[in-house]
Amino acid sequence: MQNYQNKVSKSEPKVTIDLSAVLVSLSDGIPKVLLIENEKGENVINHRLPFGPFNPNINRTMEESVRKWVLEQTGLRLAFVEQLYTFGDRFRGIINNDDPVIPVSVGYLALISRVTPENLLGSIWLDWYKLFPWEDWRNGQPKILDLIIKPNLMAWIQKTKGHNSRLERRYRVEVAFGFSDFGWDAERVLERYELLYETGLVAESLIDGKIPFPEEDSIYDSTGLPLYQDHRRILATALGRLRSKIRYRPVIFELMPKVFTLFELQKVVEALSGENLHKQNFRRLIETEGLVEQTEMVSEKTGGRPAKLYRFRREVIREKPSPGVRFSRKGSKILN
């Protein structure tokens, strides 16, 4: 049974597996991500995700290893952890030939119920939308879309010759950025980031040498903070996955305190999805889904009438095939 293993392993190149973790939390309605400040250097890029190599001699599973790296680099013990994706074409073919080690990276998503002190190794909790300004529609369509992204994407479409090639680009852009019939689809975070990367609208494109020369320096000031290596791509994957997952698994409660008001819950969902929801319908949704149960307590923190406090109803997991916050996806409006 070992035959295949041995046979195919002969001429192996050295491969390294990096494990990277996206830690998500919230404070004051701001969705946050844990970043670590790079050591000083001549780099433009100052931030990275917690990460480290997978060493199976030390940690039996990759998840164990992720937990270890995160603990070492941030002091945090993770609860909810989920594998995201494995990135095998890091730096898009711009591999440093001096370095015989070719890194593959496996991204993980972890949810943290509240932000922790920022300390070890210069870790900070950064507003997710500082990295993806075009993803936050809670105050209407982000200006950057019409000002910078849309015109540049349109130019990119025109730049190619050939009817089919142009059509293909147009379709990709339309679907990813919602210039099509159905409008903005919050979950397509990765598709959007990939397009911006490809069209040279994020700083990483330059650094990876994809784009020959900065056309307008100012663009990169407004298209979000660039990260080390492909970490922003991993983050985009994480945001997309989280946005879709809250709809069919009760993961949102990993981000909530033990008890909470329905409006607090709504604000968290809105912060993640980047969209505003209809308040009355949201509470009906949550209640009829059986996701929560009342406590006898009320919150004093609200301005007006005190809000009842709820807690997560764990039993819902055995009652429905895919319990989650199934709010509608009919585009973004400013409500209430």
- The stretch among 22-30, 153-161, 277-285, 313-321 that binds its own copies (CB under 8 A) is 313-321
What Rg value do the Cα atoms of the chain yield, rounded? 22
Residue 53 CA, distance from chain mean position: 21
User: Position 296: which residue type?
Assistant: E
Residue 73 CA, distance from chain mean position: 20
Looking at the Cβ atoms of 18 and 270, the one nearer to its own copies is 18
How is residue 112 written in tokens? 């943290």
> Which residues from 226-285 bind DNA, rule CB under 7 A?
261-263, 278-281, 283-285
How is residue 117 written in tokens? 């002190």
State the binding partner of 162 from DNA, its own copies, none, CB within 5 to 8 A by kind: none
Backbone angles phi, psi at 181, to 5 degrees: -55, -45
Q: Longest Cα pair distance anywhere in the chain, in angstroms? A: 72
Selected from 32, 123, 142, 185, the binder of its own copies by CB under 8 A is: 185
State the binding partner of 261 from DNA, its own copies, none, CB within 5 to 8 A by kind: DNA
Whether 257 and 227 have beta carbons less than 8 Å apart is answered as no
> Which residues from 291-310 bind DNA, rule CB under 7 A?
298, 302-308
**Beta-bridge mates of residue 27:** 30
How is residue 197 written in tokens? 């990367």
> Which residues from 214-273 bind its own copies, rule CB under 8 A?
228-229
Backbone angles phi, psi at 290, to 5 degrees: 75, 25
Looking at the Cβ atoms of 82 and 287, the one nearer to DNA is 287
Applying CB under 8 A, the residues found at the interface with its own copies are: 1-6, 8-9, 11-18, 38-39, 41, 43, 45, 48, 51-57, 60-63, 83, 85-86, 88-89, 93, 95-96, 99, 101-104, 106, 171, 174-175, 180-182, 185, 187, 228-229, 317-322, 329
Applying CB under 7 A, the residues found at the interface with DNA are: 261-263, 278-281, 283-285, 288, 298, 302-308, 326-328, 330
